[in-house]
Structure 1
Amino acid sequence: MNEVMTAMYERRTIRKYTDQEVSEETLRELFKIIESTQSWANSQCWEVVEVRDPELRKALQSTVPTKNPAYTAIVNAPVLLAMCARRGQSGTLGTSEMATKHGDWYMYDLGLATQNLCLAAHSLGLGTVVVGWFDPDKAEGIVNAPEGVEVVSLIPLGYRNQKGVAPKHKLVESFVHVDTF
């Protein structure tokens, strides 16, 4: 098995981190991975806000329900990434008209960028958790997102202080269909 496939099998959600700082060099390496991610017609609709300031992370934590298992990770990770998308760029044919019935593809493109980021972070010994259960409108105000930019997810990132556990997955036979459903 190659390194990419190994990372895909081994990457787990991590919510506990050491105090070790994540270097700017490491972050730039991760951001270069996002830069090279495929997107609809190369629209690259993503924007990333790197949040290190403890007060801003605390403010962003207030957007996350306390019942969310990642609640404490928001402030305990050395870095918090707000993964954002520019609306109306992805899924178009160079106009404001959406090309498919699915409309704006920003969630798809951000999913690709996020997965690449998380796999690359794992390969560098870092842990991540993708937080989607939060108040995006409130988070957009905290990170000062301009109009037309949405905060899609929050990603605490740091050196792992736990070993992730593999969840149960559906078996291939339960979701692959040949020729027809």
Structure 2
Amino acid sequence: MELLEGILTRRTVRKFTGEKLSHEQIEKLIYHASHAPSWANSQCVRFVALTEDAAREAMARQACTGNNVNNVLGAAVVFVLCGVKGKSGYLGGKVASPDPAGWMMFDCGGAAEALCLAAHGMGLGTVQIGHFDQQKAGELIGLPEDMQVVELIACGYPAQTPEKPKRLEVGELLRYNHF
């Protein structure tokens, strides 16, 4: 699959077949996600892969609500995407940005998108989950104090291919030189 085609055809998938992923597949996804750019190459992103049924069940029942419970339960793997605090937005151990925490989130977002595109390229589907109890998720994975849970990404073989959602036209998104 060509990159530009992959960007245009990737969809959020909320229903999975239940087929498991191998550790090799999971590591391939993380390898590709690790190539996302980051502030001063700080590489602040870390992943915990929930592969065991009991781990996904605990995350779904204790940290998620609504549709996200089923998104987590149905996935072959759920990635808990975390950021190391104090790396992005800092240079030489000193704050180098007006919003260093924002840079950590930005870096995590880039890695998340790289993971989702890699999954699509491997015939897998993903859904990014932002509405969940971050503190509880951190407790469930034994999160170190110098890290923050940013999002969950449920991943697996798609049981359906959602329709393409309507997108804003380029003319609604782009301005040249000023608004």
The answer (yes or no) to whether the contact 2:33–2:118 under 8 Å persists in 1 is no
Gaps of 5+ in 1: none
SS at match of 2:100: coil
The answer (yes or no) to whether the contact 2:82–2:149 under 8 Å persists in 1 is yes
Q: 2:156 aligns with which of 155, 158, 173?
A: 158
Deviation at residue 73 of structure 1 after TM alignment: 1.4
Deviation larger for 140-149 or 32-41: 32-41
| 1:29-48 equivalence runs, <5 A | 29-48=28-47
**Matches of 1:119 and 1:12, distance apart in 2:** 9
Give the letter for the 1:25 counterpart: E
The corresponding residue for 1:26 is 25
1:133 aligned onto 2:136? no
Gaps of 5+ in 2: none
**Matches of 1:116 and 1:8, distance apart in 2:** 10
Deviation at residue 35 of structure 1 after TM alignment: 2.1
Deviation at residue 166 of structure 1 after TM alignment: 1.5
Deviation at residue 65 of structure 1 after TM alignment: 1.8
* TM-score normalised over the length of structure 1: 0.93
**Matches of 1:146 and 1:102, distance apart in 2:** 22
- Residues paired across the two proteins, number: 177
* TM-score normalised over the length of structure 2: 0.94
**Matches of 1:126 and 1:175, distance apart in 2:** 29
Percent identity (aligned): 36
- Higher helix proportion, which one? 2
SS at match of 2:156: strand
The corresponding residue for 2:144 is 146
> What is the CA deviation profile of residues 121-164 of structure 1, one whole-angstrom value per residue up to 9, with x for unaligned ones?
00100000000000101100001000021111111111110112
**Matches of 1:24 and 1:65, distance apart in 2:** 28
The corresponding residue for 1:64 is 64
Give the letter for the 2:59 counterpart: L
Deviation at residue 26 of structure 1 after TM alignment: 1.2
The corresponding residue for 1:169 is 167
**Matches of 1:160 and 1:96, distance apart in 2:** 44
**Matches of 2:52 and 2:24, distance apart in 1:** 18
**Matches of 1:96 and 1:140, distance apart in 2:** 26
| 1:94-133 equivalence runs, <5 A | 94-97=92-95, 99-104=96-101, 105-133=103-131
